[in-house]
Amino acid sequence: MEMATKRDIENREDIIKLVNTFYDKVNANEVLSPLFNEVAQVHWDSHLPTMYDFWENIIFGTGNYRGRPMPPHLALNQKVPLLEHHFITWMSLFFPTVDELFEGPKAQLAKERAQHIASVMRYKTSQMQKLG
């Protein structure tokens, strides 16, 4: 039996599928779920559409995301320090989610951008922790 070839991320529906699948894994993860649900107290009904816009803008340059992702993460970092293992766990869920659903240049771009975002966020949160 021949395996169906995965296709690339092509549209908002694909972004929604990626984001929903990923955050289902986050919510089931013993490291990340408490950060999102207990500490940050994420309101998923508003957070998920924001993430759809964010990733759609990252991958397709739609310009429909106007938020600033760093301030909420820095505020979270003041409550609970975001450490290397948090970022590693996030990436260990995100990359396989992309790979299980999609393949192609846009899927690769999603992983590259996620890596970059995590690196910048990790740097800024660690600098904040050093400053006390």
Taken in order of first residue, the domains within the chain and their CATH numbers are 12-131 (1.10.490.10)
Instruction: Identify the pLDDT of residue 3.
Output: 62
- Mean pLDDT value across residues 21-43: 96
* 23: alpha, beta or left? (left if phi > 0; alpha if psi -120 to 50): alpha
Instruction: Identify the pLDDT of residue 1.
Output: 56
Instruction: Identify the pLDDT of residue 66.
Output: 87
Instruction: Identify the pLDDT of residue 130.
Output: 85
Instruction: Identify the pLDDT of residue 131.
Output: 83
* Interval 37-88: pLDDT, tens: 999 999 999 999 999 999 999 999 999 998 898 999 989 999 999 999 999 9
Helix axes 12-28, 84-101, angle to 10 degrees: 130
Q: Which residues contact 98 (CB under 8 A, 6 or more apart)?
A: 18, 107, 110, 111, 114
Closest CA to 51 of 122, 126, 117: 117
